[in-house]
Structure 1
């Protein structure tokens, strides 16, 4: 009996060895150009090991993908504006696929694999980072006051289209159009300077978006989205600030989870506390986050009140959820949902350039109203604000008496200047502050 079992085992092993393993296939190749790097994405039918190395004389990047066949076309890639002169391929060691990138200039390559996630297949991502050229920095004399800096983040991009609406309307396209309009309108305001996190169709990892805001020392980071929900009747714009403890609604929790998964789709391979002990670092970080969160809620209230004049609001207060892109410890940050792209009515409006401009205008007015009422010290807005033109956007928990005391005026004069007959005020309401 034991001899028969040994024979069966030997037969099974022999058949297993003899059976050919199914090779992976490269089913598609895409290329994205970002300001500082070029990204190539290989869609694979299954996971595959790879090895990357460089050669010089001339400069080349070589990628060997184990036991893989090429089914996609490489000669259709648009190489214009990239460091790649041409792409070649051949068999290597009989069963491996070798892809060679002939370069116009040297790059710093990086590669990583992404496992299958939702609608996205297994992928191999190759990033070719441009060589950083050393430039002599010159100091520009811009006077004694600085601009209020706004970092504008268009969500998703590149590999990550974001949510999809009717007619294959892509969130990444809608929010980039709105972000560019907002950037234009903010930059037209005296004393304000806006900068786009991404200016084209490429992906930026959450961490890099956050670091962008900190690098330019932004006074506000605003991330623009047009998300989806499980129900097509979900509608309305919303404004979100970060929460370290949980979401204020099931919708906020759902959206945060969805947005935080973007790095898995788009492909993504700080407050300096290094010299502090763990206890002190934790205390400092908590204090910084609390102040930043409170400022974010105040700005969010001002933006939400303006959005409500042009579109339906999903919630009439600023909600909180643990969005990864809002986790800067020292830059006030808000995420604006301009509407639900899965709602047929809102999708139609979101693709309309006129509506995009109106949304951007209201976003701009909400941001500017907040900073004109509470300009950071040392800014041009703070130095040039006239007492007769002062405005105050009401935040949560504020009262007329508290606002009057802050500006050293009487409650009666504050009511008279704003035509208020009672003590009832609402969050986001803008008050004119009369001279003392």
Structure 2
């Protein structure tokens, strides 16, 4: 009896232990997969029931990425999310060498730079494993010259959030990333209709662009201004109104310090003085030149922000009546004047409704465009079509002649006479002349 009882107890323990082992093998599950194609990369996101325990390795001929999920089972429809992505040809299962693991194979179109990392639960999402496939060839950046021999003023527009990052979500389910993209697209359309202005969309679809990459793309496009569009949110539904933000002085100084420490690498960030800053052995000269660039950029950012505030208050309530300085990653570039515009509080039910309204989005875009147009009417960079079209004036003082004025502005006497419909070279004290742009 004792032997039979012992055997029975041992079998019970064995079954329980075996059952626990079986459960352990499937302690996690792959529940779904989402794919976010972008111009330069594709992001693949696996949604999991728990924190992933994984290993991965690439294979060649053909190009593949193999991922082993330990103690996991697959419940996802792997091919349902691919659609027409040009980088991922197929996602399939394969046999893992580790018992209880699930092996997934991504069949790739070519050799990509690969980044794989887990993400903890946040917002509406649980545990995730993210795979980023980056093109090895850089995105082509078009030149913005026009047929009149003068370049366009380039405005880089960042639609906040995107892809895996929805931004804030309103009570009615409005995603910030969708509102910002619609306003950005409307703004870009207005800009592109103006001769001499050119919009560059940093994000043109539903995908995420890293903060560092945003400024890199703006810089490659030779942007004269960067505008980041967002919708604000708060724990309370009461706050409302738009705000315009610029970089905090402390954050700008921190970025500036990093530039100077590695100025040879970062000389392209410093405009026309970049080569001098890189090559000089005089640290004081390098710091002085770079500091002048930083101060100009910060002053220009604030000046433009004031133009935006002036126009926004005509179409919506303001949360902040003056530009506010905050430490923001997207505004960290010390070589491109940059602002972040909070178009309203998506957490406020009334503003959420307005932010979803096409006509209100158009009004916001038009206000921002008007600020751009007004600002560059007086601050157009040299060599641009807008600068060429800008009318300057000069009042004749004692001792000045047409030839003196022409020499001062580096134009010919004939150009001066033509612009002012003058029949002779005679001018009088106090007379105001229009000064054309030099060819």
Mapped contact 1:162–1:227 kept (Cα < 8 A):
no
Match for residue 131 of structure 2 among 110, 114, 126: 126
DSSP 3-state at the match of 1:193: strand
Q: State how far apart, in whole Å, the 1-side matches of 2:175 and 2:61 are.
A: 42
Q: In the alignment, what sits opposite 2:47?
A: 43
Q: Which residue of 1 aligns with 2:418?
A: none
Aligned residue in 2 for 1:299? 304
1:104-162 deviations in Å (ceiling 9; x for gaps)? 44433322222334554332111223353899999978444211110000000000101
Quick check: 105-114 or 219-228, which moved more? 105-114
> What is the CA–CA distance in structure 1 between the aligned matches of 2:244 and 2:118, rounded to whole Å?
34
| Matches of 2:305 and 2:376, distance apart in 1 | 12
Distance, in Å, in 1 between the alignment partners of 2:141 and 2:346 is 46
CA distance in 2, matches of 1:221, 1:214: 9
Listed as ranges, the gaps of 5+ residues in structure 1 are 1-14, 248-269, 389-432
Correspondence for 1:59: 63
Q: Determine whether 1:211 maps to 2:216.
A: yes
Matching of residue 78 in structure 1 with residue 78 in structure 2 = no
Q: Is the 8 A contact 2:170 2:347 kept in 1?
A: yes
Deviation at 1:245, TM superposition (A): 3.2
Q: Does 1:34 align with 2:32?
A: no
Spell out the pairing of 1:115-154 with structure 2 (5 A cutoff). 115-130=120-135, 132=137, 142-154=147-159
SS of 1:176 mapped into structure 2: helix
> Which whole-Å CA distance do the structure 2 matches of 1:283 and 1:44 have between them?
52
Partner Cα separation in structure 2 for residue 186 and residue 139 of structure 1: 13
CA distance in 2, matches of 1:139, 1:317: 33
Count how many residue pairs are aligned between Structure 1 and Structure 2.
Answer: 356
Query: Do the aligned partners of residues 16 and 172 (structure 1) sit closer, same or farther apart at CA in structure 2, a change above 3 Å counting?
Result: same
Structure 2 residue runs of 5 or longer lacking an equivalent are: 1-15, 253-265, 271-276, 394-431
Q: Does 1:327 align with 2:332?
A: yes
Match of 1:97 among 102, 107, 124: 102
TM-score for the superposition, normalised by structure 2: 0.73
Q: Secondary structure at the match of 2:294?
A: helix
Larger Rg: 2
Q: Is the 8 A contact 1:37 1:129 kept in 2?
A: yes
- Whether the 8 Å contact between 1:79 and 1:86 is mirrored in structure 2 is no
Q: Which residue of 2 aligns with 1:245?
A: 250
Match of 1:69 among 73, 79, 94: 73
What's the CA shift for 1:54?
2.5
Q: Within 2, Cα distance between the matches of 1:102 and 1:169? A: 35
- The change in CA–CA distance for 1:317 and 1:116 in structure 2 (over 3 A counts) is same
Between the aligned partners of 1:78 and 1:311, the Cα distance in structure 2 is 41
1:277–1:100 CA distance, 2 compared to 1 (3 A) = farther
Please name the residue that 1:162 is paired with: 167
| Shift in CA distance, 151/101, structure 1 to aligned 2, threshold 3 Å | same
Counterparts of 1:320 and 1:139, CA distance in 2: 31
Q: Does 1:183 align with 2:185?
A: no
Query: Is 2:318 aligned against 1:313?
Result: yes
Once residues 154 and 58 of structure 1 are traced to their aligned partners in structure 2, the CA distance between those partners, rounded to angstroms, is 36
Matching of residue 233 in structure 1 with residue 211 in structure 2 = no
SS in 1 for 2:344: coil
